[in-house]
Chain A
Amino acid sequence: MAKPMEEYKWHELNVGCVIEEVGNAMEYKTGDWRSSKPVWNDDKCVKCGLCWLFCPDAAVYQKDNGLYTTNLDYCKGCGICAHECKPGAITMVEEER
Chain B
Amino acid sequence: MSTKRGVEVSIAAADAAKLARVEVIAAYPITPQTHIVEHLSEIVANGELDALYVNVESEHSAMSACCGASAAGARTFTSTSSQGMELMHEILFIASGLRLPIVMAAVNRALSAPLSIWGDHSDVMAARDTGWIMLFCENGQEVVDSTIMAFKIAEDRRVLLPVMVNLDGFSLSHVIEPIEFPSQEEVDKFLPPYNPLYTLHPDKPVTMGAYGMPELYTEAKYAQEMAIRQSKDAIIEIMDDFGKRFGRYYKPVETYNTDNTDTVFIALGSINENIKTAIDELKKEGKELGLISLRLFRPFPEEELAFALKGKKKVAVIERVMPGGAANGPLFNEFSALAQARGLKIQLENYILGLGGRDVNPEEFLEIFENMSSPKKETKKNEKNYIVIGVRA
Contacts and interface: CB of A to CB of B under 8 A. Distances in A.
A10 B206 CA distance: 20
A81 B160 CA distance: 45
B223 A19 contact: no
Interface string B193-223: 0000110000001111010110110011011
A17 B220 contact: yes
B290 interface: no
B97 A16 contact: yes
Contact of A16 (B98, B213, B219, B226): B98
A18 B223 CA distance: 13
A27 interface: no
B219 A13 contact: yes
Contacts of B226: 10-11
A20 interface: yes
Nearest to B160: A15
A22 B207 CA distance: 8
B161 to A, nearest CB: 10
A10 B207 contact: no
Interface string A1-23: 00001101111011111111010
Interface in B22-50: none
A18 B208 CA distance: 5
Most buried by A among B160, B205, B219: B219
A8 B198 contact: no
Contact of A17 (B100, B160, B212, B215): B212
Contact of A13 (B98, B205, B213, B220): B220
A5 B212 CA distance: 10
B99 A15 contact: yes
Interface string A47-84: 00000000000000000000000000000000000000
* Band of interface residues on A: 10 to 19
Contact of A9 (B99, B215, B219): B219
Contacts of B216: 5, 8, 13, 17
Contact of B223 (A10, A20, A22): A10
Interface residues of B, number: 22
A16 B198 contact: yes
A19 B219 contact: no
A97 B100 CA distance: 44
Nearest to A17: B220
A8 B97 CA distance: 18
Interface in B64-104: 97-100
A17 B213 CA distance: 12
A58 B137 CA distance: 53
Given A5-B215, A5-B216, A6-B215, A17 B222 contact: no
A63 to B, nearest CB: 30
A16 B205 contact: no
Contacts of B99: 15-16
Interface in B136-165: 160
Interface string B172-203: 00000000000000000000000001100000
B127 to A, nearest CB: 20
Contact of B198 (A6, A15, A22): A15
A8 B220 CA distance: 10
Contacts of A8: 216, 219
A11 B230 CA distance: 13
Interface string B223-238: 1001100000000000
Interface of A: 5-6, 8-11, 13-20, 22
- 10 residue pairs, one from A and one from B, having the closest CB atoms: A16-B99, A19-B207, A5-B215, A10-B219, A10-B222, A6-B215, A10-B223, A16-B98, A18-B198, A15-B99
25 contacts: A6-B215, A8-B216, A8-B219, A10-B220, A10-B222, A10-B226, A11-B226, A13-B220, A13-B223, A14-B198, A15-B197, A15-B227, A16-B98, A16-B99, A16-B100, A16-B160, A16-B208, A17-B210, A17-B212, A17-B216, A18-B206, A18-B207, A19-B208, A19-B210, A20-B206
